[in-house]
Every structure is written in C-alpha cells, then in structure tokens.
Amino acid sequence: MKRYAMKLSYDGSKFYGWQVQVQSPTVQECLEKGLSIIAKKPVKVIGSGRTDSGVHALGQVCHFDFPFDIPTDRLSIALKSYLPHSIKVLNINEVSDNFHSRYDAIWRKYRYIITFDRTPFNCCYKASFHRYKINIDTFRSCIPYFLGEHDFTSFSKPNPDITNYIANIYEIIINQDDDLVIEIKGSRFFHNMVRRIVGAMVAVSHNHLDVRVINDWLNLKRHDQRNYITAPAAGLYLVEVGYK
C-alpha cells in the first residue's frame, strides 16, 4: 500500500458538503467511488477538513492509501474520468506512510466573498447582504479582536468529537473592488466558524455596535448565542492548506 496526497478544487453548490453522509452526493463520496473502481477494492479518502454543504474549495487537500503502485499522472487521469465536472484534481503526490492531511496541517486559509450586485448567476458563489448596512471600515475595525489565540466556542456549532475550541487566527485581510473579499488564515477552523465571524462583522456594521462587543461574544463561550447570523455558505471558499 502506498499513500498519496491529492489537491483538488470543487464547486460546493453541487454537493452536500465534503463528508460522506445520508444525503448524496458529497465530495468524499465521489472521490472514494472513483478510486475504489480503479483499485477494484474500497479506498478511504481523508480530507484536511470538512467543508459544509454549499462551501467551495480552491485548494482542498486529502490523502488515501492505494493498493498498488501507479504513476501519479496516470492515477490522476484515471480518476478524472470517474469524477463530475464540479470536481477538479489539481495534483496527486506520493507521500510518507505517516502523512495525515488533517493532523499534519499547520494552517488553513479561507476566503469569503460578499457581492453588492446579487444576480441569478452569482447567487451560488457569492453572498449577498442586501438588507444589511455593510461598511468596510467597520469590518476592518473588527479584525484585531479576532486575531491571536481565542476560544471560538461562540463562533462554532457543537461537535462531540472536539474537546476544545481554541484556535489561533494569524491573519485577516479585507479588500474591496467590485466585491468585498475577506481572507482568514488560522491554525484550525470549526464548523461554521468563518461564517459566524463574517456574521459578527455584519452585525457590528449594520447595528452600529461598539466593536468591543466582539470580546463579549467570545467570552460567552456558548454555541447557541444569537447575537449575529451565520453567513451564507455560498460565499465561502477553502483556499489553501499549509504543511511543514
């Protein structure tokens, strides 16, 4: 058995998220079906993280063990023939047997795109807050309160597999051209975390709140708090995963 790491992108609007579940299709499901056909036996694929239904990826990373030796370029070509057009394999590389796409990742970067011109053609790929007052300067004033190490319980959904919700946010960059683009880089992210951070920025901007309220929300450490919305999945992209 040899272990391979694969980098891929996908259109999240076509899937019920990354992880195999009752609802179909999912990205993991499609990859495992294709690899299992090629291998003629079940192949398990493990991703660097689980993107939600409707969330896109530009640089998701996963790994899998394959039962026989095959050049990576041939494996990539073979796999593509079994995948829908909404999934694109960017590259496949052989890695060490102890490589783990999730546990070996040292940072992840997400991008959130807000459009001010919502149309039927971008509604699956950008988020619209047309009923809210969006101010880019207010958004930027929120950045320092999220940077560094914090307990993000209030900014995530509960997960019985997670023992603590501490993460380190290394960088948040906000730019505006036609769209408002927020990029967040951190050590780890939890279910709905980026979408709730964006939702908190929207709440501060729309309601003209004192930006220091973010500290209060962090200190609540409650999954069920309702001070801000969870931003729509359509605007979120997993951009890149970093390894040593």
Q: Are residues 173 and 213 in the same domain?
A: yes
For residue 148, pLDDT over 90 is answered with yes
- Residue 44: which domain range? 2-95
Q: What is the pLDDT of residue 53?
A: 93
Same domain, 194 and 221: yes
Percentage of the chain exceeding pLDDT 90: 87
The catalytic position among 11, 52, 69, 104 is 52
Domain boundary among 95, 127, 150: 95
CA 227 vs CA 24, 189, 222: distances in Å: 32, 20, 11
Query: How far, in Å, CA of 186 to CA of 184, rounded?
Result: 7
Per-residue pLDDT tens over the stretch 23-42 = 899 999 999 999 999 999 99
22 has a pLDDT exceeding 90: no
Residue 194 is predicted with a pLDDT of 97
Domain count, the chain: 2
Where helices occur in the chain by DSSP H, the ranges are 27-39, 72-80, 136-146, 193-207, 213-220
Residues 142 and 222 in one domain: yes
Amino acid at 243: Y
The pLDDT of residue 4 is 97
14 pLDDT above the threshold of 90: yes
pLDDT of 159 over the 90 cut = no
* Residues 6 or more apart in contact with residue 163 via CB below 8 angstroms: none
Residue 100 lies in a domain: no
End-of-domain residue from the set 55, 74, 95: 95
- In the listed set 36, 69, 95, which residue is the last one of a domain according to the structure? 95
Residues 136, 110: one domain?
Answer: yes
Active site residue 52: yes
- Cβ-count burial of 137 within 10 angstroms (0-12 exposed, 13-18 middle, 19+ buried)? exposed
- Cα–Cα distance measured from residue 105 to residue 99, given in angstroms and rounded to the nearest whole number: 10
Do 117 and 81 have their domain in common? no
pLDDT, residue 204, reads 97
* Domain identity same for 137 and 205: yes
> Has residue 24 been placed in a domain?
yes
Q: How many helices, marked H, and strands, marked E, lie in the chain?
A: 5, 10
135's tokens: 């101010």
Mean pLDDT of the chain: 95
Mean pLDDT of 80-87: 96
User: Is the model's pLDDT at 119 over the cut of 90?
Assistant: no
Angle between helices 72-80 and 27-39 (to 10 degrees): 120
Residue 155 sits in the same domain as residue 65: no
pLDDT at position 117 over 90: no
pLDDT of 118 reads: 84
3-state helix, strand and coil shares in percent for the chain, rounded to the nearest 5: 25, 30, 45
pLDDT over threshold 90, residue 228:
yes
Asked if the structure places residue 202 within a domain, the reply is yes
Asked if 83 and 22 sit in the same domain, the reply is: yes
CATH number at residue 61: 3.30.70.580
**C-alpha closest to that of 129 among 112, 141, 147, 145:** 112
Residues 111 and 223 in one domain: yes
Same domain, 135 and 232: yes
